[in-house]
Amino acid sequence: MVLPSLSPKPAQASSAASPTHLRRLGLAFWGAVLFGAVLVLRLVQLQAWGRQSYVERAKDQHTKSFVLEARRGRILDRYGREVATNLKTTSYFVTNQAEVKKPQTVARALSQVARLDESALYRNLTGRRRFAWLARKIEAERLQTARLKNLQGVHALVEMKRYYPMGSVGSQIIGYTDIDNVGIEGGELGLDSHLKGQSGVMVSEVDALGRTLAERGEVLTPPEDGADVTLTIDADCQWIAEEELAATVEKYRARAGVAVLINPRTGEVLAMSGAPLYDPNRPGDHRPEHRRNRAITDMYEPGSTFKIVTAAAALNEGIRPEDPIFCENGRLAVPGGFIRDSHPLGWLSFQEVIEHSSNIGTIKVARTLGDKRLYEYAKRFGFDARTGIELPGEARGLLHHPSVWSKRSLETIAIGQEVLVTPLQLAFAYGAVANNGVLMKPRLISSIARPGQAPVETGAEAIRRVIEEKACRTLVEFFKGVVREGTGTNAAVPGYEVAGKTGTAQRAAEGGRGYEPGQYVSSFVGFLPADDPRLLCLVAIDRPTGVHWGSAVAAPTFRRIMERVLALRDCPARLSPAATPPDTGAVYVGLPTMPNLLGLSRASAEGVLRRYQMAAAFEGEGVVVEQSTPPGQPLGPGVRLTAKCQPLMAARSDATDRQFVAGIAVPDLTGLPLRQAINRLSAEGLRPSISGNGFVAAQAPAPGSLVRRGSACALVCKPEPPASERLTAARTPGQEIGNLRSPQTLASLASWQTKN
């Protein structure tokens, strides 16, 4: 039996779908077709036209670009000795504090190495910032003792640090750089365009964390290293000028001092020193005024040394040396008061007026010239204009136009008041007289050598003729008389005829009118040999106490500088009875005194003795460490010298030419890190002559040798231990890894350096 179905029968389907339902199906179908078409077109576009851009994007995500820092060029003295160079150092930083596992241990280790505050380092390691520098530019020798290895979360980056191996010698000329090797002052700033070079670009593959994967990156653009700049400065002369200047400033408790040494024929600057000095390796430890180059920045009223303008103008305009001038017995009425001479004088010839530095006689000569001509001659000598030396910050001085002169300006300017000059301007004004009346442009750069290219030499540059040769020769005779029997007798150098002029100027009040009571600038400018000048030196002492005359303060300093420089470098002698200085308290017997040969290389010592026509027996090679006749002893007929030499390990013997000061025992430096050895020598008053880097392997003179203060000690250093090489980046010659400010890039770069 078939049971009937209990389900309800389905409703009969409608014969046709509703229009709304069909419309929806159509839209869905065509939407799917359109989406598929767009997808296909997009895939075709990516494959056919957009492939390259996505390849580049993928490449960018897996590679990083790094700057390859160009090596900063060295600065050398005229004999090729380094006064500014580069040291390889290591910097430490973190990009994520959470990665540092033992922050206290890391902070303690870095504080010992970098001499930083441990608590500050700890805060950097545990703070919220992702990136932080921990220590910048630590020398390799300090890393050895600290054993900074495998510090988790801490990245190491190789950087180059500017280093000044001669310390304070020439520091105000050389200047210094900041932490990123950008020139800040002095030559480092003025020559920055030559020294800095052009950075390069390198790429390397990295993972998601920025760590390098490839063993070596690809250098896209190699860096172009900076040029080496050779200066006209002689480091030996610079050291001598600085030492003698510092001694004078200390002796007279002066505020400051300046010494400038030039070759007047070529305009070459051989030394340019200011006191006090500073160490460019630690510029922040010194006051700002110690860092400025006083020879080009400081302006002062020159006093009697400015009489060169009045005298030169008068001679060039036809006034004769024998013309008589009445000096009013030391007191002359001028508008607004009186001008006096230091000693009452009556009738003098024009030549005697200059020799005895009479203010009144000079004023009377200036009155015959008139305002306009005196001003024009001052401009010819280069006053009120920058000299053009290749250093920043040079002052131009001050010389008002006659249209604004007061009723007494002619009289005061003629004797060096109411006018401001820089020491360099004044030195080159006298250089014009020494150079037969032709003013030269200062020459500080000797040559510029770019990597792989021959050095480009600079040449002497004459600016203009200031006075005629005949007038110049007469003026030189005036200046010879100043040293022979006038105010400059203390500047006389045995064996040479010196021409020069003293100056004792009241110091203008700062920030106001008038002068500081009892404050003076004592100066002397001179050159030798007087008839064929090769050396010119200016010495100016600011506010000496007690004695303040230029003849007593600055002139003896000039003499000591010249005597020591002449013992080092060849200069034609003028040994003659006329060159024998007058009796000023020293002992002269008509023959030269024994020169100081201590510290000179044997070749230099032999050259000095040839000029004295002396026979000598040398024992050994190297530098002179003993001489049988003490320096300064008057020589008699037939004197024979025995000199003992000791070998130096340095490559250039000429780099060791120094003056010695007896009584200092050379410390034992063998095995010490280079920086520590340099500090030991500096503490003893000795100077390093360095060959190599790292640790001291040999030295000369031997430990315990007695030498004089200021002596050079040659240090030969061995390479850094292999352990430190893990921090050294592989590079092509002349390339160093640069420093970027992106934390991720720094981390990648540090990783690349570690692998290479």
Q: Which domains does the chain have, with CATH numbers?
A: 86-166+176-225+738-755 (3.90.1310.10), 235-579 (3.40.710.10), 597-631+639-658 (no CATH)
Residue 630, preceding bond cis, omega within 30 degrees? no
Per the structure block, which two tokens stand in for 390? 């290749």
If we measure between CA atoms, which residue out of 320, 313, 554 comes closest to residue 432? 313
Bridge partner residues of 541 (DSSP): 257, 522
Q: How far apart are CA 542 and CA 523, in angstroms?
A: 9
Residue 655's pLDDT is what?
A: 34
DSSP conformational letter for 5: P
**Cβ–Cβ < 8 Å for 102, 125:** no
Residue 101 pLDDT grade (very low, low, confident, very high; cuts 50, 70, 90): confident
Going by the DSSP 8-state scheme, the letter that residue 306 receives in this structure is G
pLDDT of residue 499: 96
How many Å apart are CA 624 and CA 673, to the nearest integer?
Answer: 27
Residues 243-266: what's their mean pLDDT?
A: 95
Q: Quick one: CA dihedral 573, 577, 581, 583, positive or negative?
A: positive
What is the rounded distance in angstroms from the CA atom of residue 134 to the CA atom of residue 751?
Answer: 17
Beta bridge mates, 24: none
Residue 357: helix, strand or coil by DSSP?
A: coil
- Type of residue at 52: Q
- Structure confidence by residue, pLDDT tens digits, 201-223: 767 666 665 555 555 556 677 88
Average pLDDT, the chain: 79
- Percent of the chain having pLDDT more than 90? 40
Max mean pLDDT range (53-57, 152-156, 365-369, 494-498): 365-369
The one-character DSSP state at 197 is -
Is the pLDDT score of 11 beyond 60? Answer: no
**pLDDT one-digit tens code per residue, 43-92:** 777 777 666 676 676 666 666 666 777 889 999 999 898 999 988 877 77
Structure confidence by residue, pLDDT tens digits, 342-395: 888 899 999 999 998 899 999 999 999 999 999 999 999 999 999 999 999 999
pLDDT in tens, 690-706: 777 777 888 877 776 66
- Helix axis angle for 235-251 and 550-568, nearest 10°, is 150
Residue closest to 717 by CA, chosen among 146, 77, 140? 140
Match 């090489």 to its residue by tokens: 725
Number of Cβ within 10 Å of residue 736's Cβ equals 21
Region 269-273: mean pLDDT is 96
Residue 583's CB: how many other CB atoms inside 10 A? Answer: 9
Question: Does residue 545 have a pLDDT over 70?
Answer: yes
pLDDT band at 97 (very low <50, low <70, confident <90, very high): low
The reported pLDDT for the residue numbered 663 is 46
DSSP structure string for 226-275: PPEEEES--HHHHHHHHHHHHHHHHHTT-SEEEEEEEETTTTEEEEEEEE
Does the pLDDT value for residue 743 go beyond 60? no
Q: Is 538 left (phi over 0), alpha (psi -120 to 50) or beta?
A: beta
Q: Residues 214-233: what's their mean pLDDT?
A: 80
What type of residue sits at position 47? Q
Higher-confidence residue: 309 or 747? 309
pTM of the model: 0.69
- 3-state SS, 656-691, equals HCCCCCCCEECCCCCCCEHHHHHHHHHHCCCEEEEE
Give, to the nearest 10 degrees, the angle between helix 103-114 and helix 118-126. 140
Phi and psi based region of residue 648 (left: phi greater than 0; alpha: psi -120 to 50; beta: remaining): beta
| 3-class secondary-structure state, position 604 | helix
Q: What is the mean pLDDT of residues 217-238?
A: 86
CA proximity to 263, closest of 529, 458, 481:
529
What pLDDT does residue 495 have?
Answer: 85
pLDDT of residue 634: 63
Give the Cα separation of 204 and 751 in Å (integer). Answer: 11
Share of residues in the chain with pLDDT > 70 (%): 73
In angstroms, the CA 753 to CA 756 distance is 5
Average of pLDDT values for 38-45?
Answer: 80
Smallest Cα–Cα separation from 745: which of 734, 737, 736? 737
The pLDDT tens digits for 572-585 are 544 433 333 333 33
Beta-carbon count within 10 A of 625 CB: 21
Q: How far apart are CA 675 and CA 681, in angstroms?
A: 10
Predicted confidence band of residue 20 (pLDDT cuts 50, 70, 90): confident
